[in-house]
Amino acid sequence: MFSKVLIANRGEIAVRVIRTCRELGIASVAVHSDPDAASLHVRVADESVLLPGTSPADTYLDIAKVIEAARSTGAEAIHPGYGFLAENAEFAAAVEAAGLVFIGPPAAAIDVMGEKVAAREVAESANVPQVPGSAGAIETVEEVLAFGEQHGYPIAIKASYGGGGRGMRTVQTAADVADALESAQREAKAAFGRGDVYLERYIENARHVEVQLFADSHDNVVWLGDRDCSVQRRHQKVVEEAPAPGLSAELREAMGEASVRLARKVGYRGAGTVEFLVETDPERFYFLEMNTRIQVEHPVTEMTLGLDLIREQLQVAAGEPLSIPSSGPEPRGHAIEVRVNAEDVAGGAFRPSPGPIVALNVPDRAGVRFDGGYEAGDEVLPYYDSLIGKLVVWAPTRDHAIDRALAAIAELQLTGVPTTLPAAAVIMDHPDFRKMAIGTRWLENSIDLASLLPAAPAEGAEAEAGDEDEDYDRQEVWVGGRRYVIPLASAGAVPAAVAESVAASPSGGARPSGNRKAGRGGARKAAGSGLVTSPMQGTVIKVNVAEGQDVAEGDIVAVMEAMKMENPLRATVAGTVTSVEAKPGDVVAAGTTIVQIAPAAS
């Protein structure tokens, strides 16, 4: 086994890997950007290395910097977590070339399965069913239109290099093709460094089911069960569970064995996930993609099988055999994971909302686990993913797990930033979710989240709150050369405007937590006035209008990127653009005016 491992990531997954390393007696090395210097993953690691800069490209995605950090600290291996460089074949090869161990699959396997068009070819050769798709990467609007003529709409435009919904757009009609293609290419380039995209026929009303597989260097390849990840918004998963409910044993085995065939075809090693679209009447499945890394939702598999999949990754990378003897172990009970993101779900917007976490208290309840990347007093930064942590519950049955998850959501105290918890409460208390009568478009098409409104600040709260960027007191001490943070004990000592709790109940009466003054307050003032303001700190990546241009209410006038998500800004009134106050590339604060519109005469 290794004596020291560098974790080339941040946030929740970095903390997760560090804690398993500690259990195994492995020293851990964290890397961090300038803004992340005091982050939790840095505090819990045995040592840390600064990667100078702020943007992911200058820090967590800089291969040379990460490898040098490993060399300078004497680390023997690098764990990439998920995201960033986790599915980068160049990085895996560079790690090996540096004489280090990459805790993941061989670079060749990442290369083949990470390029989605090549992965489709491998799936075909391994006799894995798949949906109709383009023969290779596409570049032009004409290619998309031709595919639509042949296969019909809707069409999915998907990033060739990457996953997690980044660089994916669904095209409903030919009129939507040009904007969707440009947006998908732009987001793919920003997220994965390459703007290549390909096409698939979009299957509506299907479920998203994935199979966890593992392979070692001793010719053992096994599948460990399945997970349902159908509850999604913007192609991002919100709630996941294991095992996937309501599937026949025959379908589970067929998907599992197809996953093993795929892994053997590419000489796979380590943890991997094969994702499928599943139709249940009749039962059919189609290959979607293979993620050559540990998944965000791996805890639900761990909870139902009593395994530590990070430990398995470390052991396999060290040359040891898998501890799981054969495929398809019988799951015990049912587990559900709720992603807790710093996003404002008011009106169903899921708008990124970075800021300081004032209080974070997890319910002390049987069968409840919280994998987090933050503590009270930490700040959710606008430069990276919005994931705060994952609330995971286990119970003997699915109904019991749903009830336990709802109770845990109601009891979880997380204040200072709005979160996705209120939406999760509505989702899991819905009768469709109970009956598993859902698909990947269910949340966006069938669930009304308009009732989730911003919580009104307490009387006089805005006056007390002061400036939005005020720093809250936090106790920091240094012991033996390491920084320790004493979390804020409660919300009582901080401004009332950021001290609201999530108030969620099984009836779905949930409200967002932590109403930050400038973010939503600015939006309320702008509504109907002709001002289009930035709802969060972020980067302007596109401006669609010019001075003198007429717009209709609801037209997209600009697009912003924040916390790895694109966010359209829409005209608040119909009228004429009188000024454009920002240009692509500008980094703006919440409340900044982007466009001004003179309302049309009524």
- Fold for 4-103, please state it: Rossmann fold (3.40.50)
Q: Bigger pLDDT: 529 or 11?
A: 11
Candidate CATH numbers 3.40.50.300, 1.10.3710.10, 3.30.470.20, 3.90.1300.10; the one for domain 105-129+206-332:
3.30.470.20
Residues of the chain with CATH 3.30.1490.20: 132-201
Mean pLDDT of 344-356: 88
- Is the pLDDT assigned to residue 68 strictly greater than 60? yes
Asked if 388 contacts 353 with a C-beta cutoff of 8 angstroms, the reply is no
Q: What are phi and psi of 35, to 5 degrees?
A: -65, -20
HSE-CB at 52 with a 13 A cutoff on CA atoms is 0
pLDDT at 494 over 70: no
pLDDT in tens, 407-437: 999 999 999 999 999 999 999 999 999 999 9
Check residues 479 and 419 and name the one with the higher pLDDT.
419
Instruction: Note the CATH architecture for domain 132-201.
Output: 2-Layer Sandwich (3.30)
**Quick check: pTM over 0.85?**
no
The hierarchical CATH code for the domain 517-599 is 2.40.50.100
Whether residue 470 is predicted with pLDDT greater than 60 in this model: the reply is no
Instruction: Read off the DSSP letter of residue 438.
Output: -
Cβ neighbours, 10 Å, residue 174: 14
Confidence of residue 364 (pLDDT cuts 50, 70, 90): very high
| Higher pLDDT pick, 408 / 497 | 408
Q: Looking at the predicted structure, is the pLDDT value of residue 24 above 90?
A: yes
The total of other beta-carbon atoms located within 10 Å of residue 301's CB is 26
Go through the chain and tell me how many residues it has: 602
Percent of the chain with pLDDT over 90: 68
Closest CA to 22 of 44, 43, 40, 38: 44
Read off the pLDDT band of 357 (50, 70, 90).
very high
Q: What is the mean pLDDT of the chain?
A: 87
More confident residue, 12 or 475: 12
Domain over 339-515 is classified CATH 3.40.50.10280:
no
Q: Which of 34-43, 148-157, 213-222, 236-245 has the lowest mean pLDDT?
A: 148-157
If one compares 163 and 312, the residue with the highest pLDDT of the two is 312
Q: Does the pLDDT of residue 340 top 70, yes or no?
A: yes
Q: In the predicted model, is pLDDT for residue 505 greater than 70?
A: no
Residue 405 CB coordination number (10 Å): 28
E strand map for 202-292: 207-215, 221-233, 236-242, 270-280, 283-291
pLDDT higher at 472 or 143: 143
- Provide the strand spans (E) within 51-139: 77-79, 101-102
Q: What is the 3-state secondary structure (H, E, C) of 40-52?
A: HHHHHCCEEEECC
Tracing tokens 């055999």 back to the chain, one arrives at: 321
| Residue 598: CB atoms within 10 Å | 12
Q: Kindly report which listed range (52-61, 104-113, 159-168) carries the lowest average pLDDT score.
A: 159-168
Looking at the chain, which residues constitute the CATH 3.30.470.20 domain(s)?
105-129+206-332, 339-515
